[in-house]
Amino acid sequence: MDIVIVIIEILVAIVWIQQGVVRYVFWENGRPGGGFVPVIFAVIVLAAALAILIKVVFGKDQKETYVFQPSAFMPVVAAVLGGFMLQVGGIGFSVFLFTSIWMRFLSKYSWVKTLITSAIFTFFIYGIFKMWLRVPFPQGFIFQLF
């Protein structure tokens, strides 16, 4: 089961990289483009997933039995949903949604702590990348309508 989850994570990371480079432009006019942040995150996810894949395939404990746990798919679901929401609502909404889902349903934090932390983290990401580094964020099609 681990190998299925890792392969899904690898595929999601490849799609993120492709979208960041092709659709949102990774680098433009000597500055990071709208795809810069998604590509950086996707490369980190891809590297981690490849490391886990190597461990799963070449690990010594091949005779372990696994008990299916639905929570194991939560990171994959969050990543796929985050990628979809990137298309719909842009990166700010995606970051907020991703951290909220992760904290509430995977880490089991209260709704108050989840919403406050997600909002702070989203504004932190926005402040560093958009305001300080001036990296243009991908905007979802909903915000492009206005």
The model's pLDDT over 40-51, given as tens digits with 9 standing for 90+, comes to: 989 999 999 999
SS3 (DSSP) at 33 = coil
Q: Which residues contact 103 (CB under 8 A, 6 or more apart)?
A: 109, 113, 114, 117, 118
How far apart, in whole angstroms, are the C-alpha atoms of residue 51 and residue 45? 10
Q: Considering the entire predicted model, what is its pTM?
A: 0.56
- The encoded tokens of residue 50 equal 């490849």
Over residues 72-84, mean pLDDT? 76
**Per-residue pLDDT for 60 more than 70?**
no
How far apart, in whole angstroms, are the C-alpha atoms of residue 54 and residue 69? 21
Which of the residue ranges 62-71, 99-108, 137-146 would you say has the lowest mean pLDDT? 62-71
The model's pLDDT over 90-138, given as tens digits with 9 standing for 90+, comes to: 888 888 988 898 899 878 999 999 999 999 999 998 898 888 878 777 7
What per-residue confidence (pLDDT) applies to 44?
93
Instruction: Give the phi and the psi of residue 67 in degrees, each rounded to 5.
Output: -105, 125
Query: Percentage of the chain with pLDDT > 70?
Result: 93
- pLDDT confidence of 17, banded at 50, 70, 90? very high
Angle between the N-to-C axes of helices 74-101 and 2-18, in degrees from 0 to 180, rounded to the nearest 10: 60
What per-residue confidence (pLDDT) applies to 62?
59
What per-residue confidence (pLDDT) applies to 37?
83
Q: Which of 81, 90, 82 is nearest to 142 (CA)?
A: 90
**Average pLDDT over the chain, rounded to an integer:** 84
Q: Which of 81, 55, 67, 70 is nearest to 3 (CA)?
A: 55
Q: What CA–CA distances, in Å, run from 21 to 24, 51, 79?
A: 6, 23, 18
Under 8 Å between Cβ of 19 and 38: yes
